Amino acid sequence: MAAFVGIDLGTTNSVVARRNAYGRPEVVPNRDGANVTPSVIYFGSDPPAIGEEAKEWARLGDAEIASFFKPHMGSPLYQLEFRGKTYSAADLSALVLKRLKEDAEAAMREVVDRAVITVPAYFGDAQRKATIAAGEAAGLRVMRIINEPTAAALAYGLNRAADVEETVLVYDLGGGTFDVTVARITPGDVAVLATAGDHDLGGKNWDDRIATFLAEKFAEETGFDPLDDPVALNEVLVRSEQAKWTLSERTSARVTLQLGAERKTFEIGRDEFEAMTAPLMDRTRRLTEEALAEAGLDWRRLDGVLLVGGSTRMPMVRSYVAKMAGKPPRTGVNVDEVVALGAAIQAATEAGESIGDARPTFTLGSAPPPRKVVDVMSHSLGVVAVAADGRSYVNDVVIRRNVPIPADGVRTYMHATHGGANTRLEVYLTQGESASPLDCTVLGKYAFDGIAATDAEVAVDVGLSYDADGVVQVRATQRDSGHRLAMTVEPVPDDLSWLAGPPRAAEDSAPGRTRVMLLIDGSSSMMGEPMAEARDAAREFLGRCDFTRMEVGLISFATDVALQCGLTSNVRRLSAAIHRLEAEGSTNLADALEMARGSLVADDARRYVVLLTDGFPDAAEAAVEQAQAAQAQGIEVVAIGMGAADSEYLARLASGEAASIFVHGGELVRAFGHIARVISEGGRSMRILDR
């Protein structure tokens, strides 16, 4: 009979595990004898090289390299071309999975045809479906998708006494994603209580902070900016990753960069590294506290913290977690392998369920039998609906996040057929927590036909469900007749800007080019936490932008006004500019607006100024005049206030009431994300965030 395995398909590295002859999970080494296989592909050979060989080519700066594609699973915008063939993230993942399958078969001397594959807990429907598709393309029947922290908790629970009940927090910081999960481990099951995370936060972000530091130093001393040269940038990134791991072992790291004819050596201290990455650690803290709050717990009620993911080897992570928890994290777990081991346990359970009474048992030592996994989804599931007052579109949540899966929910909506003129119901499915649909992910468009015509409104029951893999199912039934409506899945329109306005027909025109100047207050009142939050908000803005048709620039205004970055689609350059933001001096908003107007003279694109301030500027009326002049040029001005900012004054700066937004502490990141999403979708008006 063919064999099954558990696979941790990672952003930077992947691991395969199996159940051995003693019923225990163990890692299966690859063809090189290593337990870990880099998730890197080199297309310069035939067939493509995968793993450590590919990573060596990546270190040399070869252009025919694919890596860090996992965060893009399910994204139609992510396409790479090698040797005349286009690859999606799922296609690339399938190549890695096929390699893992072949290596496992060679080591186990069996055909491997089934697998449980792990995903970040924060993966949504599209990413999970893409992971299943990748597994099938690699020749595997995917028995189940399981969240990475849940798999880690399952493996951890295997080594606990059979009668122990514990509540643990799994802090999973990998190469490209971060997840945090609160789980209850009992003799009978592993029940996830809550989860949160960010699939754009991982060890690579720490690498990028070092890379930005080195690139700026090199440019300052030589005049050559590595950010402008792909080959030079790759060298900086490779050296940055090496420096990060050196700083995990030592208190300082020396980095020598040979870029062209220039050679420079820089030293980075661990304290300096921890200071430049402190905002990243704070992002993990916020998500961790969010998960604890969702579980209805605090640190004192946890029995322990389990670290997972290679990036948790950084000393700053261990000390930060220990400080948050009030005690050191649990030890004795291999942070690189524990997720795959948990996947192997789940694979054994799934295989046992599929063959009746021959359930697997784990018999070595005092290990308990397998535990049932009760998982949750980290995203609420809903639909776009018209608000009760008929004045706006809202995200109507049907299944709340952090409820056990499988989960099912039904909501009834009224639909007017107008005597037969409109017997079709279009349902836009959403994943997210915000009341605003544009702040959520629109998963799909589902058209239901066959509604019985009537002059009155018809009640339609729309049913949504999460299966055990976290994959979404949709259905609709006409309530009065019980008739199940025929469903067609249609592409989600590129332009969803109509969701930001009052209910009306969607425009058919596709959005064009967009240019945005971010203006960030750098006055002394922004020192400390306000500036840290402003940097995070600006990064969130970039993360929500579609840079295939957008350019963004950054201006800081204090006593002096500085163009930190001109209009560009280069995200790294913008990120480096955000990192440079500091607070000192007064508030010269008028000159900043004038500079922004000069950068947005060309009228061949939609143009926006998005400004953030925490008080009155030096020349308040002059700033209003500049804002009005910008609007006269056709530039929409969005004014965001925090701290001591005045709402009435913001309204005078903004293009309209809906473009004037005041936020309280902790709301700024969400506000910037909302604005970026609306602008990126081509929206022409802004909505005030729900409070």
Judge whether 499 and 437 are in contact, CB under 8 Å: yes
User: Is 272 within a domain?
Assistant: no
pLDDT digit string, tens, across residues 179-204: 899 999 887 788 899 998 887 888 89
User: Is 593 within a domain?
Assistant: yes
CATH number at residue 663: 3.40.50.410
Same domain, 180 and 301: yes
Same domain, 335 and 457: no
CATH number at residue 405: 2.60.34.10
Higher pLDDT, 449 or 341: 341
- Neighbour count for residue 228 (Cβ, 10 Å): 12
Q: Which of 462, 492, 522 is the last residue of a domain?
A: 492
- Nearest Cα residue to 412 out of 450, 454, 459: 459
Same domain, 176 and 318: yes
Same domain, 473 and 563: no
User: Is 207 within a domain?
Assistant: no
Rounded Cα distance between 484 and 491, Å, is 22
Same domain, 352 and 408: no
CATH number at residue 326: 3.30.420.40
The two structure tokens encoding residue 124: 């949504």
User: For the chain, what percent of residues have pLDDT higher than 70?
Assistant: 91
User: Nearest-5° angle of CA 575, CA 577, CA 580?
Assistant: 115
pLDDT digit string, tens, across residues 613-627: 998 888 899 999 999
Neighbour-count burial of 344, counting CB atoms closer than 10 A to its CB (0-12 exposed, 13-18 middle, 19+ buried): buried
Contacts 24+ apart (CB under 8 A), 29-32: 29/103, 29/107, 30/100, 30/103, 30/107, 31/102, 31/103, 31/106
- Neighbour count for residue 275 (Cβ, 10 Å): 12
- Neighbour count for residue 484 (Cβ, 10 Å): 14
Same domain, 322 and 386: no
User: Is 449 within a domain?
Assistant: yes
Per-residue model confidence (pLDDT) at position 681: 56
Q: Which of 492, 525, 556 is the last residue of a domain?
A: 492
Same domain, 146 and 113: yes
DSSP string covering 594-607, please? HHHHHHT---SSEE
Same domain, 486 and 525: no
Residue 506: pLDDT above 80?
no
149: CB partners within 8 A, 6+ apart = 121, 170, 172, 179, 180, 181, 183, 192, 195, 308
Phi-psi region of 505 (alpha: psi -120 to 50; beta: other; left: phi over 0): beta
Same domain, 552 and 455: no
Q: What stretch of H or E contains 213?
A: helix 203-222
Same domain, 297 and 423: no
- Neighbour count for residue 455 (Cβ, 10 Å): 9
Residue type, 194: A
> β-strands 514-521, 606-613: how paired?
parallel
Judge whether 159 and 367 are in contact, CB under 8 Å: yes
Average pLDDT over residues 495-512: 62
Q: Which residues does residue 385 pair with via DSSP β-bridges, in sequence order?
A: 394
Judge whether 552 and 567 are in contact, CB under 8 Å: yes
Residue 476: pLDDT above 80?
yes
Domains held by the chain: number: 3
pLDDT class of 362 with cuts at 50, 70, 90: very low
Per-residue model confidence (pLDDT) at position 160: 59
CA 354 to chain centroid, in Å, comes to: 34
Rounded Cα distance between 646 and 650, Å, is 6
Give the range of the structural domain holding residue 406, as residue numbers without chain letter. Answer: 381-492
CA 475 to chain centroid, in Å, comes to: 28
User: Is 501 within a domain?
Assistant: no
Residue 691: pLDDT above 70?
no
Residue 588: pLDDT above 80?
yes
User: Is 687 within a domain?
Assistant: no
Per-residue model confidence (pLDDT) at position 360: 40
Average pLDDT over residues 106-117: 93
Same domain, 455 and 576: no
User: Is 155 within a domain?
Assistant: yes
Same domain, 568 and 630: yes
Per-residue model confidence (pLDDT) at position 364: 34
Q: What is the mean pLDDT of the chain?
A: 85
Q: Which residue has the tokens 């000192």?
A: 584
Of 246-250, 359-363, 535-539, 565-569, minimum mean pLDDT range: 359-363
Q: What does DSSP assign to residue 485?
A: P
pLDDT class of 388 with cuts at 50, 70, 90: low
660: CB partners within 8 A, 6+ apart = 638, 639, 641, 647, 650, 651, 653, 654, 688
Per-residue model confidence (pLDDT) at position 421: 63
pLDDT digit string, tens, across residues 414-469: 777 766 666 788 889 998 888 888 888 888 889 888 887 766 677 888 999 998 88
User: Is 498 within a domain?
Assistant: no
Per-residue model confidence (pLDDT) at position 234: 85
Higher pLDDT, 670 or 129: 129
Rounded Cα distance between 664 and 691, Å, is 10
Residue 332: pLDDT above 80?
no
